[in-house]
Chains A and B, each alone.
Chain A
Amino acid sequence: MDYSEYDVADFAADDFFIQWVKNPTAAGNQFWIKWLADNPAKQEAIQEARKLVVILSGDEDKIQDWELDEIWQKLSEARAPYTPAETTGAKVIPLRFWQKRATLVAAALGLLLLVAGFILSKLVHNPPVEYATRYGERRTIQLPDSSVVVLNANSSLTVPAEWTSGKPREVHLKGEAYFSVSHKLNNQKFIVYTSDGIQVEVLGTAFNVSDRGNKSEVVLASGKVRLNIARTGENKQVIMLPGELVEVPDKAGTITKREVNTALYTSWKDNKLVFDNTSLREIATMLEDDYGYTVVFRDTTLADKEITAYLDAGSLDDILVTLSETLDMKITRENKKTIMISNY
């Protein structure tokens, strides 16, 4: 692309330029720094165009979570006649039947009490529901409060049979999941417990939690969350803002917080893989966590190679072929357990 004749408006309308301003990558930085060095007279035009792109990309009309929930409620009522009756319908019919017979009201009440007692006792003893995924499997779960969880491979989520209103909604996670939590009008909290003593506390928001390997990672896409970190001999709270990643090592080690491109961490839920200067070592860890393979590097220096790519996470084979072509390396599946990476 020849940019030498471009003026401010041309830059501001150019898609490559826009993407660089909005999501700068190392490759983009390199290109524009070099280009400016070759075309120093355009410095001002670039500055002006950058400002324009930032303004044009802004948007004020945000809808609040409670407004979204309100519309969803109305929508649910409106479309009820078009939704086939579910199994719960069976419970409703006997009640109506009894209500019609005034002479039997007392008996009905008695029966209802019995039924209620039965249900209550069942609830108390009702075991929590566990959702689990195998290697290479992904699952979308709708929770009773209409929150949605996308559970990544080799992970499990435990949800109590019932949440009591007024108490926080609590779930337990092993592995990795993306949460889109519905906001309750009574500000009922939602808490994710990870197996290494971290609590992610939210009101209504979208975020990614992973407690794989020897560290936990929380990435916040939107909204606001609070982390309660309980490790040996320490109790800490961290408030997170959108776009931030917090990494908590299992043992002592310092807790770090940094700004990231959240798409890199949440794209797996849409069956996409996004790498931005991601090392092959990190990718190997992902393959081990999500697909259950052991990755072996014939030459350990290969693990430091970096890749920037956006690809469909169709099958494992597709991923391996793309990686091998992009990095010009030999990547083979030895058996059902090992992936070998070597030079050609």
Chain B
Amino acid sequence: MVKVYALLVLYKGVNSGTVLKSAYDLQSFSFFQRSSVQEFMMFVSKTMVERTQAASRQSFKEGEYMLHVYVRADNLAGVLISDHEYPNRVAHTLITKILDEFTAAVPASNWATADEASVDFPLLPQYLARYQNPKEADALTKIQSELDETKIILHDTIKAVLERGEKLDDMVAKSESLTMHSKLFYKTARKTNSCCNF
């Protein structure tokens, strides 16, 4: 399946990242799971932005999902969550494009203090819808132009950027931004995924 689940624009502050704008397509999840999935995607995006150095690109494989992160030199960051069949090149070009347009729409002086409610950037959901089919969108917008020089670092799992002894499970348990419901959802999902599936 080629699918984009979420697009987020974040600001990487000194200690933590803040979400400036986000758009989700969670139709493929069961109705009762959607809010948890959304919370989760936001949590993971924030964490990964915090662990990506400025002016670098990273892509993480986690289960059946791919997480593409780009943090610019000015600490504006973009995250795209897709499945693993989504072409990396398109994902990163799209993030670059979005960040450029975001810079044009929202002045840089506001980034550090703004939050999702105060930022007006209606383009995000449009991009999310259009790039569901990367082949058509790519032909349409002609972003064939090669990606900038920044190399994409590819990780097979999110664990690669965690510090020694740190576990995603513990981070989830400690996190304050996730509700009880979502934490439980995470635990159950872990359990169900571990059994064999045909």
Indicate, yes or no, whether A interacts with B. no
